[in-house]
Amino acid sequence: MTDGSRGEGATDGMMTRGEMAHASGLSPKALRLYDANGLLHPARVDPATGYRYYAPAQLDAARTIAALRRLDMPLARVREALACDPSARTELLLAWWDERRTALATGLVTVESLVTQLGDDAGPGTASGDLRVQERTVPERTVAAVAFRTTQAELVPRFTAAVLDVRTALARGGATFGTEFWVVYHGVLEAPDAYVEVCVPYTGAATPTGAVVLRAEPAGREAFVEIGAQRCAFPQILGAFGSVRAHARERGGTVGPAREIYPVPWSDDGHVADVAVPLGGTVLDPAPGARPSLGP
């Protein structure tokens, strides 16, 4: 018997399977799988009821597993990544991603060539007519962020590693955060390289550390489209960027950097991300000390 919520036999200070699933983005089924494979054992199993409990300190590992499995990283490689320090983990991610790129080299070259040709005619991100652009008001948010140069080919492993690093820094400082993160584009990824900023919204106290800066994301209006997992892939996602940019131009407002917002745990079905642009003059408003990390 396993638990889905805090119930009989609960242990103070521990997390039930349901609580761990909600906080980490791993489903109860995935938690059972990673227990069986030795990646994430419960800290305690009640011998009488079978209730499983996890220590709060295991949450970082659970979120790391969720992020890496979203990339379809094999379990053996995930195990290696969990044993690494942050810098070695980034190198492992990049090395594994390079292996995947090599295996798919022929198809990748074909896709990149086609995207370049389309970009020459229509510019990056041609609008897609089957996407519904919506608008919403967003409150001011405090985010921890890290920025770096990258190419489109290395984007996914780089931003995944950055999300894990930012969450680690926030956890050490005692801040509260969830599964949501953003990828903000300060350049065009079709260029040789571009500035990309990974942001994790948080509440509570936090301290800048290393490359991680803290800043306020101002309140305002934004245009967005909701997309599923299949549309998140490159180059399919370019249509979503084209749609929100076209909507912003029609509005006549100043458009800030485009971004991908991942508000919910990854799933192969349903809504997993928003592609959005700020409207009406809303632009990034970095805290003191943040801007140098974004500039050349």
Q: What is the pLDDT of residues 161-189, one digit of tens each?
A: 999 999 999 999 899 999 999 999 987 65
Arithmetic mean of pLDDT over the chain:
82
Q: Is the peptide bond before 74 cis (omega within 30 degrees of 0)?
A: no
pLDDT tops 60 at residue 285: no
Q: Specify the pLDDT at position 121.
A: 37
Kindly state the average pLDDT of the residues 125-133. Answer: 66
Q: Which residue ranges does the chain devote to CATH 3.20.80.10?
A: 110-293
192 pLDDT tier (thresholds 50, 70, 90): low
DSSP string, 44-79: EE-TTT--EEE-GGGHHHHHHHHHHHHTT--HHHHH
254 pLDDT tier (thresholds 50, 70, 90): low
Rounded to whole angstroms, the Cα distance separating 89 from 72 reads: 16
List, in order, residues 6 or more apart from 53 with CB less than 8 Å away.
Answer: 10, 11, 14, 15, 16, 17, 42, 43, 44, 45, 46
Q: Specify the pLDDT at position 75.
A: 92
Lowest-pLDDT range, 21-30, 61-70, 110-119? 110-119
Degrees to nearest 5, angle at CA 227 with 222 and 229: 140
Rounded to whole angstroms, the Cα distance separating 295 from 173 reads: 26
Return the bridge partners of 150, or none: 194
User: Percent of the chain having pLDDT more than 70?
Assistant: 79
Q: Specify the pLDDT at position 9.
A: 45
DSSP string, 71-108: TT--HHHHHHHHTS-HHHHHHHHHHHHHHHHHHTHHHH
Neighbours of 268 (CB within 10 A): 9
The closest of 159, 157, 140 to 148, measured between CA atoms, is 159
Please tell me the CATH code under which domain 15-83 is placed: 1.10.1660.10
Q: Specify the pLDDT at position 165.
A: 94
Q: Specify the pLDDT at position 191.
A: 56
285 vs 42: which has the higher pLDDT: 42
Kindly state the average pLDDT of the residues 259-273. Answer: 90
Which of 5-9, 96-100, 153-157, 259-263 has maximum average pLDDT?
259-263
Q: Specify the pLDDT at position 288.
A: 37
112 pLDDT tier (thresholds 50, 70, 90): low
152 pLDDT tier (thresholds 50, 70, 90): confident
Q: Specify the pLDDT at position 227.
A: 94
Region for 155 from its dihedrals, namely left if φ exceeds 0, alpha if ψ lies in -120 to 50, beta otherwise:
alpha
Q: Which CATH architecture has domain 110-293?
A: Alpha-Beta Barrel (3.20)
Rounded to whole angstroms, the Cα distance separating 169 from 165 reads: 6
Q: Which residue ranges does the chain devote to CATH 1.10.1660.10?
A: 15-83
214 pLDDT tier (thresholds 50, 70, 90): very high
Return the bridge partners of 25, or none: none
Task: Give the chain's length.
Answer: 296
Tokens of 223: 């245009």
The closest of 33, 1, 3, 35 to 18, measured between CA atoms, is 3
236 vs 130: which has the higher pLDDT: 236
Tokens of 30: 């995935």
- In the chain the first and final C-alpha atoms are separated, in Å, by 56
